[in-house]
Amino acid sequence: MNYKTKLKIERWKKGPFVAYTILAVTGFMFLLQEILGGSTNQWVLVQLGAKVNQLIVLGEWYRLITPMFLHIGLTHILFNALIIYFLGIQLESVFGHWRFFALYFISGIVGNATSFAFNPSVSAGASTAIFGLFGSTLVLVKLFPGHPQIKAMAKNFTLLIVLNLVFGLFSPGIDMAGHIGGLAGGYLAAFALSTPRAWRTTKKQQLTYGLALIGVVALLIIIGYSRFIPVLNLFS
């Protein structure tokens, strides 16, 4: 391997390659949706892994993950992609590659589990994971108390969280359960994962939040099953 190749690999490792990979996979899935019949086509959404509560109850657990990579319409994916790009790059530099990877996926899973528990509609989108990224910015203030840049970032994203939640309340078709669940999931996950250079964190604190996170997901899945199994039994 020559020097230039090694240099490119080192730059890739130091760069936000997790955020870029998420964007690439999300973009690929959107193109696939369009090829198969359109991103707003419900049949395409269901076939590619949108959140469908009845199918999750029947054992298709992967639908707690796959909705993060599907979007409904061009505006939907562009808005989410911009947030992943600008916020994701910042957070990946703070949390590190694999913690950021875990944060994104855990947030999305908790958001989709919350949607499974409380929203009967078919849903898709990276918003569950993105709200988790929002939630993590609130935690950074506690991990780095007094840090001026992190304090400013958290203040800006607190306003963005409030605006998004208010907008969602008055917009039909918005999966508010998924958004709130993702926000809570990201908050808990950020404490559980912490950061490599956190000023204030302990292993006990990380374990406590990690166990709380597992408990929340388990409870949401139980609620989802209890709500939808009786419905399925009516048709069996």
Please state, in angstroms and rounded to a whole number, the distance separating the CA atoms of residues 107 and 57: 21
Q: What is the number of structural domains in the chain?
A: 1
179 is catalytic: yes
- DSSP structure class, residue 66: G
Q: How many CA atoms lie within 13 A of 212 on its CB side?
A: 16
Enumerate the H helices of the chain as residue ranges.
3-14, 17-36, 42-48, 53-57, 74-95, 97-118, 127-143, 148-169, 176-193, 203-234
36, 38, 132: which is closest to 80 by C-alpha?
A: 132
Q: What is the pLDDT of residue 143?
A: 84
Question: What CATH number is attached to the domain comprising 116?
Answer: 1.20.1540.10
115 is catalytic: no
Q: What is the pLDDT of residue 70?
A: 98
The pTM assigned to this predicted structure is 0.89
Residue-wise burial string across 43-60, b where 16 or more C-beta atoms lie within 10 A, e elsewhere = ebbbebbbbbbebbbeee
Check 39, 127, 136, 194 and give the catalytic one. Answer: 127
Q: What is the pLDDT of residue 233?
A: 58
Below-70 pLDDT ranges, the chain: 1-14, 199-200, 229-236
- Which range of residues forms the domain containing residue 13? 3-234
Q: What is the pLDDT of residue 230?
A: 63
Q: What is the pLDDT of residue 7?
A: 47
Mean pLDDT of the chain: 89
Check 179, 194, 226, 236 and give the catalytic one. Answer: 179
Residue written as tokens 């958004």?
179
Q: What is the pLDDT of residue 126?
A: 96
